[in-house]
Amino acid sequence: MKKKLVSIVLSAAMMSTLLAGCGGAGAAAGTGSNDAANPQTEETTAEADAIDSASGDGTLTVWTWDPNFNIYSLKEAEKIYQKENPDFRLEIVETPWEDMQTNLGTILGSNNLSQLPDILLMQDFAFQKYAITYPDMFTDLTNTGIDFSQFGAGKLAESVVDGKNLGVPFDAGTEVACYRTDILDQAGYSIEDLTDIDWDRFMEIGLDVKEKTGYSLFSTQAGSADFIMQLVQSAGGKIWNDDGTPYFVGNDILIKSLETYKALFDSGVMATGNSWDEYIATFTSGKTLGTINGCWIIASVQADETQSGLWGLTNMPKLAGIDSATNYSNQGGSTWVVTSNCKNVELASDFFAKTFAGSNELYDTILPGCAAISCWSPAASSSVYSEPIEFFGGQAIYTDIAEFGTKVPGFDRGVYFTEANSAISNVATNIVNGASLEDELKAAEETVNFNMGN
């Protein structure tokens, strides 16, 4: 079974799978950055002197993506840790999630773990797969001094295997809907009109807005099932049977989600971007006035300072005609991993214990700086959460997001979530091109069963 699972991990790593999550898994690649505006700066790549005689080299290498979110947060954590350890450095290699999967596939295939960085960021949806199929890749952090009891149980569960803490939780992915209020106003609508509604009403408003302004209400990335999975979760749905086999055929919530996706696509109320950058451009400089995604997307929304004051935030629409439907979901979220190749586990553990797992200052900085909603419980008590955000017209968006997060239905992604997501992506692509939904779901279920060895 392990050989089968490893084979699947390696093949999946060669594909472009889930592209969203944590500030954009498809962010542009770079050779190394500790400054979003100045990749590969001298400060980033310089080797530090020893923190002390026991620590040796005070530099830790990190693989992650997105300068506006993950890299920015690392920079701020580095600054805080340097207050007591001035010779500490993070050497950050900007690595889009798709590229990281390819890199990990090559490393796992060659069994040469010496090519791993000291630290890497892992998408939560993929964590269990990598941890279970290749446990030698991870360092057990359970007894390293990091207080894991201060993280929410649901989030923490993503990185716990056999009772071992294999990662440090980072950001949440609570679903938000962000819209340009100035353009909505041109069509006679406000953010309140898009709050607590279902997708049928959303379609009505969207068609009217498009006719009056030419703008689509929101966009997604073409060829990705992320949005569809968000819909399924919002209604408390599932994609697996109790025996672990895929549950696609006859799955009413999944079917309704796909039908909703097709209707939005066909109407033009939902636009698409062919790449991550194109997707971001649709709502920052294109003809789309909004986006519906994990709360980490706020960092990209706020990237254009000239749009300050022109945005509003609310919850997502719910599936119409589904009794269990809610206006809440989750997309993405990520966890820091200390790899088995880390040359100084003590240093890495101490860094996390005093920053992402121990610093109110850090979260008070990165919350307004890049909308990094903390999974570290003490951070939520900060007054920063209730502060009005000028970019969103003075709305206290973090209070709203924190409330949304308490209402998100649970969702079992399973070890084979990547395979399921890829199969549903194919279904979505094919049905918008005229294929039969029933036939596509049957084929998708057969494909996932085959990949699982069933």
pLDDT exceeds 90 at position 224:
no
pLDDT exceeds 90 at position 346:
yes
Domain-terminating residue out of 365, 380, 395: 380
Residues 320 and 336 in one domain: no
Residues 338 and 321 in one domain: no
Residues 20 and 63 in one domain: yes
What pLDDT, on the 0 to 100 scale, is given for residue 306?
94
Residues 296 and 436 in one domain: yes
Residues 186 and 152 in one domain: no
272-284 average pLDDT score: 92
pLDDT exceeds 50 at position 86:
yes
Residues 163 and 184 in one domain: no
CATH number for position 117: 3.40.190.10
282-293 average pLDDT score: 94
Position 394 in a domain: no
219-236 average pLDDT score: 93
**What is the average pLDDT score of the chain?**
86
375-379 average pLDDT score: 86
Domain membership of residue 10 as a residue range: 2-173+331-380
- pLDDT band at residue 24 using 50, 70 and 90 as cut-offs: very low
Q: Cα–Cα distance between 270 and 424 in angstroms, integer?
A: 18
- pLDDT band at residue 266 using 50, 70 and 90 as cut-offs: very high
pLDDT exceeds 60 at position 33:
no
Both tokens of 197, joined, read 């509604």
Tens digits of residue pLDDT in 164-214: 999 999 988 889 999 999 999 999 999 999 999 999 999 999 999 999 999
Residues 119 and 197 in one domain: no
> Based on the structure, what is the number of domains in the chain?
2
What pLDDT, on the 0 to 100 scale, is given for residue 140?
98
Q: Name the least confident of 47-51, 190-194, 209-213, 407-411.
A: 47-51
In this structure, are residues 66 and 23 in contact, taking their beta carbons and an 8 Å threshold? yes
Both tokens of 224, joined, read 């990705």
- pLDDT band at residue 260 using 50, 70 and 90 as cut-offs: very high
What pLDDT, on the 0 to 100 scale, is given for residue 272?
94
Residues 40 and 101 in one domain: yes
What pLDDT, on the 0 to 100 scale, is given for residue 20?
37
Residues 135 and 100 in one domain: yes
What pLDDT, on the 0 to 100 scale, is given for residue 286?
86
What pLDDT, on the 0 to 100 scale, is given for residue 42?
32
Residues 271 and 138 in one domain: no
